[in-house]
């Protein structure tokens, strides 16, 4: 019997995704010192394209070179190096899949080493490991500039030959900051009510749609919730999802969390019930309400590991696309194997990427151990991406402390290269 994962899905714009598996965005850190895509992007995405996933969404492509999520991000502001983007698009669609560019602005989540004074809706400081500067509250001109930058970059995405674009409105980045009443404390038309806080997103989508035309896919990535008291809530998400359905969005991807609440990298919030954990998908518990409100195809990312759970979610019409991320770093062809039934479960290395309680022999280092575990897990998957981009096989035997070291060293090198370019 043919797997439900093999079914194509037609989007409202008329485009079709060839199956129900999607690669969610993961930051790659592979750009050159001038923020341009490289041959390593081509190698990586060609490998992923041949792995059977129907939809691929790139990692953060930034709309403004002054503000990055991290050094190593690609920036798409002008058509100066569009040939490099076209090569990336060609390599990443070689197997007939779709490849969308995720456009993003980090807002206050821009590291100090990139910019000491980032932008944000309000001047609420992200005090996390001393890594971020106090942001400048955006002016009306700043807001209009952001809308224009997203619009121009989306037009360039289409011109380069990618098959769609995703606007990042989750994980505590700029548009997520506008949605959050904790961070957005404005009293003008861009703050206060949820309608005002969502205004910049809706106006950006309207502008992007005008730029790319009616038949080019536009996706949005949205938090189901920030999982912070007083932050963006599930009720807010349901309302915004309904508006996005009215605004010609073709695919809504649901994830969750911010840098301060690490749901986005698999650290589950306490609000998620045990039944949801057993069903693997961190955010699927919220899918029904969001899907009903949005009335557009829904992609859920976070935690899916078994074929049985994925197939049931599609067959029961709980979701339309299963979002995968980390498994594609260690099993780049896992989608093909899930669809043909040759594997029942994806590799899951997170549980093994933890330092023992006796590390360094005392409890005083517990916070440090937590940080090493979190960043070590992230670093483990970054390292797999780097290897795939070099045409090498994954290295799943890598341990958490070594992953942490490599990640810190690699990010330092990326920052230094860019700083002295």
Q: Would you tell me the crossing angle of helices 366-389 and 39-49 to the nearest 10 degrees?
A: 90
| Portion of the chain with pLDDT greater than 70, in percent | 88
| Total residues found in the chain within this entry | 421
pLDDT at residue 119 tops 70? yes
Among residues 305, 165, 303, the alpha carbon closest in space to that of 224 is found at 303
412 Cβ neighbours under 8 A, 6+ residues apart: none
Q: Would you tell me the crossing angle of helices 39-49 and 82-92 to the nearest 10 degrees?
A: 20
**Beta strands per DSSP E along 196-249:** 218-223
In which residue are the tokens 């590291």 written?
111
Q: What is the rounded average pLDDT of the residues 356-366?
A: 51
Q: What is the pLDDT of residues 193-213, one digit of tens each?
A: 999 999 999 999 999 999 999
CA atoms within 13 A on the CB side of 198: 20
pLDDT at residue 359 tops 80? no
Poorest-pLDDT segment among 7-16, 47-56, 89-98, 272-281 = 272-281
pLDDT at residue 222 tops 70? yes
DSSP label of 365? G
Poorest-pLDDT segment among 141-155, 223-237, 308-322 = 223-237
Name the band, by pLDDT with cuts 50, 70 and 90, for residue 108: very high
Per-residue pLDDT, 226: 72
Joined tokens for residue 352? 């093994």
Identify the helix (H) or strand (E) that includes residue 49: helix 39-49
CA atoms within 13 A on the CB side of 283: 32
| Portion of the chain with pLDDT greater than 90, in percent | 73
pLDDT at residue 352 tops 70? no
Q: What is the pLDDT of residues 91-105, one digit of tens each?
A: 999 999 999 999 999
Domain assignments of the chain as residue spans, ordered by start: 16-347, 349-421
Give the span between the Cα atoms of 14 and 6, in whole angstroms.
19
pLDDT at residue 360 tops 50? no
Per-residue pLDDT, 261: 42
The chain-wide mean pLDDT, for the chain, equals: 89
> Taking the model in full, what pTM does it have?
0.92
What residues are paired with 165 via a beta bridge? 101, 218
Span 16-347 CATH architecture: Alpha-Beta Barrel (3.20)
pLDDT at residue 263 tops 50? no
Q: What is the rounded average pLDDT of the residues 226-244?
A: 88
Cβ neighbours of 265 (radius 10 Å): 17
DSSP line for 127-190: -STT-BPPPEEPPHHHHHHHHHHHHHHHHHHHHHT-SEEEEEE-TTSHHHHHH-TTT----STT
Helix (H) and strand (E) counts for the chain?
14, 14
Among residues 156, 176, 129, the alpha carbon closest in space to that of 408 is found at 129
Q: What is the rounded average pLDDT of the residues 225-234?
A: 78
At 320, give phi and psi (nearest 5°).
-105, -30
Poorest-pLDDT segment among 55-69, 262-276, 368-382 = 262-276
Q: Which residues of 128-146 are buried (b: 16+ CB within 10 A; e: fewer)?
A: eeeebbebeebeeeebeeb
Identify the helix (H) or strand (E) that includes residue 85: helix 82-92
Per-residue pLDDT, 312: 92
In which residue are the tokens 């309680």 written?
357
Per-residue pLDDT, 176: 96
Identify the helix (H) or strand (E) that includes residue 217: none
pLDDT at residue 361 tops 70? no
């Amino acid at each position: 019997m043919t797997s439900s994962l093999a079914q194509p899905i037609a989007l409202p714009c008329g485009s079709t995704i060839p199956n129900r598996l999607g690669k969610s965005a993961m930051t790659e850190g592979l750009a050159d010192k001038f923020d341009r895509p490289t041959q390593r992007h081509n190698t990586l995405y060609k490998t992923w394209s041949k792995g059977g996933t129907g939809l691929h969404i790139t990692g953060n492509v930034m709309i403004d070179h002054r503000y990055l999520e991290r050094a190593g991000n690609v920036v798409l502001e002008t058509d100066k190096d569009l040939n490099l983007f076209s090569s990336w698009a060609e390599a990443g669609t070689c197997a007939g899949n779709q490849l969308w560019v995720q456009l993003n602005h980090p807002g206050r989540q821009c590291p100090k080493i990139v910019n000491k004074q980032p932008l944000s809706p309000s001047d609420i400081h992200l005090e996390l490991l001393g890594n971020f500067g106090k942001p400048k509250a955006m002016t009306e001109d700043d807001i209009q500039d952001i809308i224009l930058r997203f619009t121009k970059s989306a037009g360039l995405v289409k011109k380069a030959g990618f098959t769609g674009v995703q606007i990042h409105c989750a994980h505590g980045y700029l548009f997520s900051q506008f949605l959050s009443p904790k961070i957005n404390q404005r009293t003008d038309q861009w703050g206060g009510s949820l309608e005002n806080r969502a205004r910049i997103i809706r106006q950006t989508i309207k502008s992007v749609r005008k730029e790319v035309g009616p038949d080019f896919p536009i996706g949005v990535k949205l938090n189901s919730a920030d999982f912070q008291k007083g932050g963006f809530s599930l009720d807010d998400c349901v309302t915004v999802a309904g508006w996005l359905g009215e605004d010609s969005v073709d695919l809504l991807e649901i994830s969750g969390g911010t840098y301060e609440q690490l749901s986005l990298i698999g650290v589950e919030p306490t609000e998620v019930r045990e039944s949801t954990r057993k069903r693997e998908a961190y955010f699927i518990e919220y899918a029904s309400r969001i899907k009903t409100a949005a009335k557009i195809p829904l992609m859920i990312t976070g935690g899916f590991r078994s074929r049985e759970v994925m197939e049931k979610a599609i067959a029961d019409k709980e979701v339309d696309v299963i979002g995968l991320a980390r498994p594609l770093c260690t099993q780049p062809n896992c989608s093909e194997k899930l669809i043909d039934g040759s594997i029942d479960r994806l590799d899951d290395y997170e549980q093994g990427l933890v330092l023992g309680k006796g590390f360094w022999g005392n409890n005083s280092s517990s916070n440090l151990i937590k940080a090493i575990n979190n960043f070590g897990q992230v670093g483990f998957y970054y390292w797999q991406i780097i290897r795939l981009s070099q045409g090498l096989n994954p290295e799943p035997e890598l341990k958490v402390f070594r992953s942490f070291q490599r990640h810190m060293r690699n990010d330092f090198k990326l920052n230094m290269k860019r700083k002295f370019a």
